[in-house]
């Protein structure tokens, strides 16, 4: 060797684990695939196309933003935009026109993510912000695009057109025509509305009317809180957003993420646990007689719990903070479901809690090693 050899300098550590942001993002995408398969099975190829359009739009919007801001455009393919696009589509009713996911996805990326500085800097979950934007701007489309599961294959002869609630049990409900909602949670909300009407009737002294309304509300709820409903919810035969159909397949994705060490269990467990506990305590007509299973299985809490409550960027990094976040989101979800104006509160609960993340992080830092501990 001629002359003294010179080496380039570098900072320690000189080795690094093989986990990368890109791998994490692609793991999340893989974990979303079973639920995508369920969406396609129950809602048809149209649902798949909505996801595809939404994802493609997200990547394109990310690319254009990066290009415009003269940042490395390779970020557009790091998988994070794809995750946002997929999650936005998962939060849409299956029957929406294609321009809706395009608009929502573009809003999610441009306003929800890139406006704050791109990956890692956004304050709230971009996909949920995109959804909130669509709900606010196109309320009718966002609440009327529900499709009955498997309608696309069976047409009018579909046996599941009661949106997950077994047809037989619905038929047993007196004045079943009162059920005009399209998702199990809509139906539940209607039962609460009937309770409200009953209360007013009782005040007016019309006890007979009140008794009838209450009876109907209870009949609807017992149809909802039944093994047949649970089965449909688990499998995915229900009306609802695209991605929230099959609880089993969502859990399959979740387990994959746990194995890949991407999903940290504190967030989803504290969230779903709070939902269940709240449902049991306050979800029924009295105290502690609610149905936790129905509340966990229905709506978007499993999708939200696995993929959005545990979104890394917008949730706390401290162990204690994650539990607080999950509990907070769970409480808000259930307050909205039980007493709020919307049948489902999952996405708003997460958006609201996202805003508290910096504060939670700051005040839940772990006790530093060696700080005030008795060595007795």
Partner 1 sequence: MTKARTFRGGTHPPGSKNLSSGCAIRRIPAPELVVVPLCQHLGAPSNPIVAKGDRVERGQEIGSQNGFISLPTHSPVNGTVSAVEDAPMPHRRTGPAVIIETESEDGGQVFEPWSDHTAHSPEELVERIRLAGVCGMGGASFPTYVKLSPPPGKCIDTLVINGVECEPYLTADHRLMLENPEDIKLGMEILAYCLGVDRYLVGIEENKPDAIELMEKKGCTVLPLKVRYPQGAEKQLIDAATGREVPAGGLPMDIGVVVQNVGTAVAVARAVRDGEPSLRRIVTVTGRGVASPGNYDTSVGTPFSVLIEASGGYTEDVERLISGGPMMGISLYTDEVPVTKGTSGVLALTSSEARDVSEGPCIRCGKCVDACPLRLTPNLIALAAENGRWDMAEEFGALNCMACGTCSYVCPSGRYLVHYIKKAQDAIRARGKES
Q: Which of 45, 120, 196, 211 binds partner 1 (CB under 8 A)?
A: 120
Interacting span for partner 1 (CB under 8 A) from 9-17, 41-49, 53-61, 181-189:
9-17
Interacting span for partner 1 (CB under 8 A) from 1-9, 43-51, 59-67, 217-225:
1-9
CB of 233 to partner 1, least distance (A): 31
For tokens 């060595």, the residue is: 375
Interacting span for partner 1 (CB under 8 A) from 6-14, 28-36, 50-58, 132-140:
6-14
- CA 78, CA 229: separation in Å to the nearest integer? 39
- CA 30, CA 82: separation in Å to the nearest integer? 11
Q: Which of 97, 121, 153, 171 binds partner 1 (CB under 8 A)?
A: 121
Q: Is residue 146 within 8 Å of residue 110, measured between CB atoms?
A: no
Can residue 9 be called a binding residue for partner 1 (CB under 8 A)?
yes
Q: Which of 34, 85, 94, 118 binds partner 1 (CB under 8 A)?
A: 118
Q: Which of 174, 196, 199, 366 binds partner 1 (CB under 8 A)?
A: 366
| Contact mark string toward partner 1, 264..303, x via CB under 8 A | x---------------------------------------
User: Quick one: CA dihedral 182, 87, 282, 169, positive or negative?
Assistant: positive
Site for partner 1 in 302-341 (CB under 8 A): 312-319, 322
Can residue 23 be called a binding residue for partner 1 (CB under 8 A)?
yes
339 contact partners, CB below 8 Å, separation of at least 6:
none
User: Quick one: CA dihedral 113, 332, 264, 307, positive or negative?
Assistant: negative
Site for partner 1 in 181-220 (CB under 8 A): none
End-to-end CA gap in the chain: 61
- CA 368, CA 2: separation in Å to the nearest integer? 51
| Angle, vertex CA 93, rays to CA 345 and CA 276, nearest 5 | 30
φ, ψ at 206 (rounded to 5°)? -90, 80
Binding stretches for partner 1 (CB under 8 A):
1, 4-17, 19-21, 23-24, 78, 80, 117-121, 264, 312-319, 322, 361, 365-371, 373, 375
């Amino acid at each position: 060797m001629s002359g003294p050899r010179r080496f380039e300098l570098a900072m320690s550590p000189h080795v690094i684990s093989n986990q990368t942001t890109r791998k994490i993002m692609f793991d999340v995408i893989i974990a979303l695939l079973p639920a995508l398969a369920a969406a396609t099975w129950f809602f048809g190829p149209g649902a798949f196309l909505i996801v595809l359009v939404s994802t493609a739009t997200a990547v394109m919007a990310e690319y254009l933003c990066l290009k415009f801001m003269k940042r490395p455009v390779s970020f557009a393919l790091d998988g994070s935009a794809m995750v946002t696009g997929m999650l936005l589509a998962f939060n849409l009713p299956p029957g929406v026109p294609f321009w809706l996911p395009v608009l929502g996805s573009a809003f999610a990326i441009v306003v929800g993510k890139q406006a704050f500085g791109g990956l890692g800097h956004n304050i709230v979950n971009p996909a949920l912000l995109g959804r909130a934007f669509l709900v606010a701007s196109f309320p009718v489309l966002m609440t009327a695009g529900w499709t009955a599961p498997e309608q696309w294959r069976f047409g009018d002869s579909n046996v599941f057109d009661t949106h997950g609630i077994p047809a037989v049990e619905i038929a047993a409900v007196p004045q079943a025509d009162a059920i005009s909602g399209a998702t199990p949670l809509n139906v539940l909300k209607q039962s609460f509305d009937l309770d409200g009407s009953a209360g007013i009737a009782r005040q007016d002294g019309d006890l007979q009317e009140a008794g009838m309304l209450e009876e109907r509300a209870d009949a609807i709820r017992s149809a909802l809180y039944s093994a047949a409903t649970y089965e449909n919810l688990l499998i995915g035969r229900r009306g609802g957003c695209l991605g929230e159909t099959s609880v089993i397949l969502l859990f399959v994705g979740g387990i994959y993420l746990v194995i890949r060490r991407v999903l940290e269990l504190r967030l989803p467990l504290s969230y779903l646990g709070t939902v269940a506990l709240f449902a049991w305590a306050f979800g029924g007509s009295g105290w502690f007689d609610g149905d936790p299973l129905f509340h966990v299985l229905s709506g978007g809490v499993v999708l939200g719990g696995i993929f959005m409550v545990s979104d890394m960027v917008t949730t706390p990094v401290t162990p204690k903070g994650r539990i607080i976040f999950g509990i907070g989101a769970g409480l808000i979800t259930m307050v909205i479901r039980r007493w709020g104006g919307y049948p489902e509160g999952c996405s708003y609960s997460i958006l609201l809690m996202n805003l508290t993340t910096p504060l939670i992080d700051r005040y839940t830092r772990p006790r530093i090693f060696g700080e005030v501990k008795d060595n007795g």
